[in-house]
Structure 1
Amino acid sequence: MIALSKRRVGNDAGDAGFTLIELLVVIAILGLLISLVAPAVLRQLGNAKVSIARQSIERIGSILDTYKLDVGSYPSTEDGMEALVTKPSDAENWNGPYVKGSSVPLDPWNHPYVYRAPSDRPDHDYDLCSPGPNNNASADSAICNK
């Protein structure tokens, strides 16, 4: 006895897949969701960088305090934060390098920190500021030590 198999000829409506209209609706919904969520995500990313800058300034402040304990004073504005990596000529008890690597750390926006000693602000021994996302250390957007 020979078994005959039945083959389908043609397409059923259930096997056709997604229609163009359905794909366009899904793409429109995804675009709407992205346009609503993206600004919030970018805002959080900006806030995270500001938080990292504040924490880094506190950490570098602790390193500067260690430098002062060893040398007797904070690095001058002329020596800058480079004094944490290479020994200044006038620092007799320098016990560094005080930071890892061969260069001074950068802020989260890859800008160098601005260092001034003595400070221009009252009740501060030094100023250590990140110029912020705009790279403008004199503006209100600068993030400085407290």
Structure 2
Amino acid sequence: MKRNRRRERGYSLLEVLIVLTIIALIAALVGPRLMAQLDRSKVTAARVQVRALGAAIETMRMDLGRYPSDEEGIALLNTPPRGDDAVLWRGPYLDADTPLDPWGAAYVYAAPTTDFGRPRIVSLGADRAEGGEGLAGDIAYGDDP
């Protein structure tokens, strides 16, 4: 009697394989949707970061009376300028270091090209190249070039 009870306690190989097959099927159906949601969340995060950087630059412009030059870039949000503007700088304007975009690349900054223009801050998207569509499209703040 004892031997029969010991055999009945465990799972058979067939039962384990059936459970693993069911789990694999569920993962195959849910996985692609989950990955697509992750990609969309990166685009949303980039939009939020670009707007936050734009707001910080606008706040800094009110203090300095100008936008950063192309050479200074968005690093000016955390590092005071040299020269006469250092007295007017009230930063840092970000709580932490200048963030990278959700794909790990630096944001691209371009100073305004007209007197009344706004600077342009761009995440190049998943493809890290200018242009693109969908998830690979550029996410920008400011005036178009």
Pairwise TM-score range, normalised by the shorter structure: 0.7 to 0.9
Query: Could you give the per-residue CA deviations for residues 45-99 of structure 1, whole angstroms, max 9, x where no partner exists?
Result: 1111110110111111110110110011111111101111112225251111111
Show structure 2 runs of 5+ residues with no match: none
State the Cα distance separating 1:44 from its structure 2 match.
Answer: 0.5
Which of 117, 131, 137 is residue 139 of structure 1 equivalent to? Answer: 131
Taking structure 2 as the reference length, what is the TM-score of the superposition?
A: 0.82
- Structure 1 unaligned blocks of 5 or more: 1-7
Larger helix proportion, structure 1 or 2? 2
Question: Is the 1:119–1:127 Cα contact (8 Å) retained in structure 2?
Answer: no
Of the three residues 47, 51, 57, the one matched with 1:54 is 47
CA separation of 1:87 and 1:13: change in aligned 2, threshold 3 A: closer
- Structure number with larger C-alpha Rg: 1
Q: Per-residue CA shift, 1:98-128, capped at 9, x if unaligned? A: 1123x322112221110101159xx851110
Aligned twin of 1:30: 23
Letter in 1 for 2:35: L
Change in CA separation of 1:133 and 1:119 when aligned onto 2, cut-off 3 Å: farther
The structure, 1 or 2, with the larger RCO (C-alpha pairs under 8 Å, 6+ apart) is 2
Query: Structure 1 residue runs of 4+, over 3 Å off?
Result: none
Q: How many percent of aligned residue pairs carry the same amino acid?
A: 34
Aligned length: 135
* CA shift for structure 1 position 14: 7.5
- After TM superposition, the structure 1 = structure 2 runs for residues 87-106 of structure 1, keeping only pairs within 5 Å, are 87-90=80-83, 91-92=85-86, 93-101=88-96, 103-106=97-100
Match of 2:64 in 1: 71
Query: What is the aligned-residue RMSD (CA, Å)?
Result: 2.2
Per the TM alignment, residue 16 of structure 1 is displaced from its structure 2 partner at its CA by 4.8
Which is worse superposed, 49-58 or 14-23? 14-23
